Amino acid sequence: LRSVITIDGPSASGKGTVAALVARELGFHYLDSGALYRLAALYALREGVSWEDENQVARLAAQLPAAFHDDKVWLDGHDVSAAIRAEDIGMGASRIAALPSVRAALLERQRAYQQTPGLVADGRDMGSVVFPRAELKVFLTASAEERAARRYKQLIAKGESANLLQIQQDICDRDARDAARSVAPLRQEPDARLLDTSALTIDQAVNQVLQWFRE
């Protein structure tokens, strides 16, 4: 039996953290689909391919030399775990994610994560496009202010400089682009459960997902 739990939602909502913990709790595999879009954006940048060039970016995405192991993300044998988290790469990921052939190029790679005993997948279109028959679909969100505040704290904790208003603006821009695109726009599926984590701890959010799954 290969169960699938999808967790979709806007940027910086905490879905990655929650999805990884739910996967660990259940002993399931974990797919961070946003990392694939970030890797494709970074790969294009490093190969000198413009984020606007749909055919070339799709070609790179189809042959992405990416791997996930030892808690790190690898591109062509290099540890790019930190590099793919940069704000400009997040913005680049959101740009190339609006290109239909780039999404198509990454589709089968994502589906291949559906392995025994199960999978927790997080992203924007996990429940709508990639795993439409998932057993449990969650739409995880939080207020824009709360999401910006969380991202701000993360950056400060890493010793990086951060500007709260700029972060909030970037998050809003990215959400607007993700929701407005014609392919796989960010939205709550009719059969997805809404989990607003604005006032929840990580543990509370994880437990809610586990409880829904076990119902």
> Could you say whether residue 170 binds ligand C5P (CB under 6 A)?
no
Pick from 40, 57, 178, 209 the residue near ligand C5P by CB under 6 A.
178
Quote the least distance from Cβ 167 to ligand C5P, whole Å.
13
Give Cβ neighbours of residue 82 (< 8 Å, ≥ 6 apart). none
Quote the least distance from Cβ 173 to ligand C5P, whole Å.
10
Query: 44 vs 126, which CB is nearer to ligand C5P?
Result: 126
- Give the residue from 137, 148, 110 showing the smallest Cα distance to 195: 137
Give Cβ neighbours of residue 92 (< 8 Å, ≥ 6 apart). 38, 41, 42, 44, 45, 51
DSSP 188: -
Query: 34 vs 118, which CB is nearer to ligand C5P?
Result: 34
Output the CA–CA distances (angstroms, integers) from residue 18 to 60, 82, 179, in the order listed. 30, 20, 22
Quick one: which segment of 49-57, 88-96, 157-165, 189-197 binds ligand C5P (CB under 6 A)?
88-96
Site string (40-79) toward ligand C5P, x via CB under 6 A: ----------------------------------------
Quick one: which segment of 75-83, 89-97, 144-152, 202-210 binds ligand C5P (CB under 6 A)?
89-97
Quick one: which segment of 20-28, 63-71, 121-129, 155-163 binds ligand C5P (CB under 6 A)?
121-129
Distance CA 35, CA 151 (A): 17
Element (H, E) at 75: strand 72-75
> Could you say whether residue 125 binds ligand C5P (CB under 6 A)?
yes
Ranges of H-type helices in 69-116: 87-96, 100-111
Quote the least distance from Cβ 43 to ligand C5P, whole Å.
14
Which residues are paired to 67 by β-bridges? Answer: 74
Pick from 19, 21, 28, 38 the residue near ligand C5P by CB under 6 A.
38
Angle at the Cα of 182 (from 178 to 187), degrees rounded to 5?
Answer: 50
Which residue is listed with tokens 């070609």? 59
Q: Which residues, numbered 141-160, are part of the site for ligand C5P (CB under 6 A)?
A: none
Residues in the site for ligand C5P, rule: CB under 6 A?
11, 33-34, 37-38, 90, 93-94, 97, 123-126, 174, 178
